[in-house]
Structure 1
């Protein structure tokens, strides 16, 4: 059900979720108790099959919007509708439990949802295969590289079969080569699963490579100041980053971002 920030019923369902829209925010505000105005009147809609990246200056409220979408923060103004309970969230840090193996970590979300042992094992192994970690099921987090830890975190979220997938700058602390490889893996998973994705990043090139649309936010309080459709087809290779059209689009987004800052 759609609600306003005060809990009152919002607009009719067909107005809120047309054409497979899984997330819609209208005039969303966020004021924290310490007086920080983080987000101001943000409108954002994401449909199934869209991968939308948020870029903007540090502290502009990108991660705050993600937490609001996931229900981890309560907005202080505006309205929001999420038309699915199947939400996956990947944090900046892999947040793996050090005493659990890769397999046990990947099983954790479905275990907390009381999914039967056989079914959660199947889901975990399928997700481990999907992210390329087969053979590392019995390893512990301390035995994994940074990129492998993020793969395990991604696999754990995949076991929830998310329709709405939220990514809070998951590859920011990883070296550039591993990051590009993980971009390709995530794009492959997106093509296979066709969820609605929202991805927070500081890298314009990463945003363009992954996305169907890039949304630019201003300095705090964060407002949407630009939206750029990405024209490249879904089968993107690393060489795309050297393409002239790719460079033009990243340049346009960069200019918008500089103006916004």
Structure 2
């Protein structure tokens, strides 16, 4: 387990790294009209089949980077390539419509794409089954637990068949046991779908458990100060969290994070 070198790669290495890259930020900068300098000179590349978690102090620009990647914010400097239109986004809040059932909420994105109703229903049911909500298709949000609401939000994004999947701390408000269960579900979906994922979290353990890489950001203005490869196999059990190698990795990430803060 090691932190990647920060030296600029050779041209051949750059060419190789770009193969299959779905998100590539180069020198991205973000200054808001209020004068807040949120993000400074960020270089970040995420390839298909990579799951990259962003950790850093509150207010360091993690969510801002996610919104820039999704096209919800316009960067004020640098350049960015997004090599797909199939982007899924899961927010911190489930943002479910209270008057729609689980199926109705999960169908929403494909309905906005004007897909035929049978196609919408088929994609919604497949996504509902993928997140383990079968049997709750006709329930309304008020009848769901917090974890089930996040499952519905995740299912809604899955109907878009995302190649680039962005997660803005979706499990932060959920109890620890449910959170670990959802981590396992998300990891299973990632193994099946092999999208490129970017996941914002304040939990080092969550980042290490889910990811193929963990990127550490400094205090505002956010810069990348650490990039850790996660050495564990894709088939991860909850017991991994008690493994000595896992503890060493989270310790290294934590040390980098404390220095960054």
Report the equivalent of 2:95. Answer: 95
**Partner deviation per Cα, 1:209-256 (whole Å, 9 max, x = no partner):** 000000000000000000000000000000000000000000000000
3-state SS of paired residue (2:28)? strand
3-state SS of paired residue (1:41)? strand
What is the count of residue pairs matched by the alignment? Answer: 248
Distance 2:156 2:15 in 1: 33
- 1:206 lines up with 2:212 in the alignment: no
TM-superposed CA distance for 1:19, in Å, is 1.4
Contact 1:22 1:84 in 2 (8 A): yes
Report the equivalent of 1:106. Answer: 106
Distance 1:53 1:71 in 2: 19
**Partner deviation per Cα, 1:92-142 (whole Å, 9 max, x = no partner):** 000000000000000000000001100010000000000000000000000
Report the equivalent of 1:249. Answer: 249
TM-superposed CA distance for 1:15, in Å, is 5.7
Distance 2:109 2:253 in 1: 36
Greater than 2 Å deviation, 4+ residue runs? 14-18
Residues 72-221 of structure 1 mapped to structure 2, 5 A cutoff: 72-221=72-221
Contact 1:26 1:79 in 2 (8 A): yes
Identify if the C-alpha distance between structure 1 residues 17 and 252 changes in structure 2 by more than 3 Å, giving closer, same or farther.
closer
Contact 1:28 1:42 in 2 (8 A): yes
3-state SS of paired residue (1:19)? coil
Output the TM-score relative to the length of structure 1. Answer: 0.94
Distance 1:209 1:81 in 2: 28
Contact 1:16 1:81 in 2 (8 A): no
Distance 1:69 1:18 in 2: 17
Structure 1 runs not aligned, ≥5 long: 1-13
Contact 1:67 1:73 in 2 (8 A): yes
**Partner deviation per Cα, 1:56-82 (whole Å, 9 max, x = no partner):** 000000000000000000000000000
TM-superposed CA distance for 1:16, in Å, is 10
Report the equivalent of 2:3. Answer: none
Report the equivalent of 1:60. Answer: 60
